Amino acid sequence: MSPAPRLATLIVLALIAAATGGAPAAQERPADATRRIADRLAALRKEAASLSTQEKSILNDLRTLELERQIKTEELAGIDAELEQIQKQIADATARAEELRARADQQEPDVAERLVRVYKMGRAGYWRLLLDADDLQSIGRALRTASVLDHLDRTRIENHARTIAALEQEKVTLEDRKRQADALRTEAAAARGALDRAVASRAELVKSIETRRDLAAELAAELDAAYLRLQSAIAQNQDLSTVYLPMRPFKGALPWPADGFVVSRFGREVSSRMPGIDFSRNGIEISLAEGRPVAAVHEGVVTHAGPFSAYGQLVIVDHGGGAVSLYGHLATISVSRGDRVAAGTNVGTSGRNTAGNPSVYFELRIDGQPVDPLQWLRPS
């Protein structure tokens, strides 16, 4: 039978029990439990549906990010290839310039020597050759020789200088391209790093959503099982006090034990009056006026109702399945040990803590370990 028909059947059975004059506890508890199960199941299934929608959206985002990361990776590969080519071109230009200088030094030492002499003597050096000639024919040959040598030297100097200048300019251009490519690579690497982090974050979020969705399904299954036990107990006219509604499926949806403000939270807390000293709190302290009602957060059996050292008047409720709740600093207690209480049952009234401030202490233990009550109570 699907959950909806089972719930309808249970409500009908509860109404029949009420109409036939059953015991008051049996008249109200099945209908209340059924309503709580139905409401919580609806909330869990709505949460599961919402998580599935979120997962699909995030998976789409994840795929987009992975594609963008792949594009950036390809861009980086292209930039790295370009940088390698530029480095090779720079090395080639440097090698050609060095080779040109070495060739000029090795193949034309006379030019180099003459250039040195010319630079030392200046342009008048060639004309001194003319003054050393004895006749006109010698002067003519010397003039032609001086003219040719002058032209040849100037041409070689200019060609050599232009080649060296061109190679140096090529190196400057290549170095500029290298700087630009380095900047592009740095930018692309930063973008890919950001995408890597985004992909990892989205993947972790998907994993978290899957865990929460699976947990919602598991909690819904627990509630379905609790419903079947309750239905079976009613059908067989069994004692309903032996049927527990599990607390775990109601994590994050439990009612508050009292209407007030949290003034002390769960966990380690540093003392403002004693620097360097911290305290570990197993529960929370709720500030409210003295004499206000304090209610059980879930159904269960009272295992303690009376004074308790450091807690004043204390009520402890066992909710089954390893879940226990504590209500301390009470002014009055309205339940007794062994009482079966439902969620919202008044267990007493608020009193004062050991410092004399009006408040209520609330603690929740699961499998013997204290847990943060704010993670189990519905958002306030």
- Return the closest-CA partner of residue 265 out of 249, 284, 248: 284
Q: Which two tokens stand for residue 286?
A: 């709720």
User: Taking the chain, what is the end-to-end CA distance rounded to the nearest angstrom?
Assistant: 36
Which pLDDT belongs to residue 142? Answer: 60
HSE-CB of 252 using CA atoms within 13 angstroms: 9
DSSP state at residue 266 = S
Which string of b and e fits 56-77 if b means at least 16 CB within 10 Å?
A: eebeeebeebeebbeebeebbe
Which pLDDT belongs to residue 114? Answer: 58
229: Cβ contacts below 8 Å, ≥ 6 apart? 243
Going residue by residue through the chain (380 aa), what tens digit of pLDDT does each one get?
444 444 433 333 333 233 333 333 333 356 677 777 778 788 877 877 877 787 777 777 778 778 788 887 888 888 888 888 888 888 887 787 777 777 666 655 665 565 555 555 545 555 555 555 565 566 566 656 666 666 666 777 777 777 777 777 877 887 888 888 788 778 878 877 887 887 888 788 777 877 777 767 777 777 777 666 666 766 666 655 556 678 888 888 899 999 999 999 998 766 555 555 556 789 999 999 999 999 999 999 999 999 998 899 999 999 988 899 999 999 999 999 999 998 899 999 999 998 899 999 999 999 989 999 999 999 87
Alpha-carbon distance 291 to 352, whole Å? 9
Q: What is the dihedral of CA 180, 182, 188, 189, to 10 degrees?
A: -170
Cβ proximity of 271 and 343 under 8 Å: no
**Count of beta carbons in the 10 Å neighbourhood of residue 88:** 11
Rg of the chain over CA atoms, in angstroms? 46
Cβ proximity of 297 and 256 under 8 Å: yes
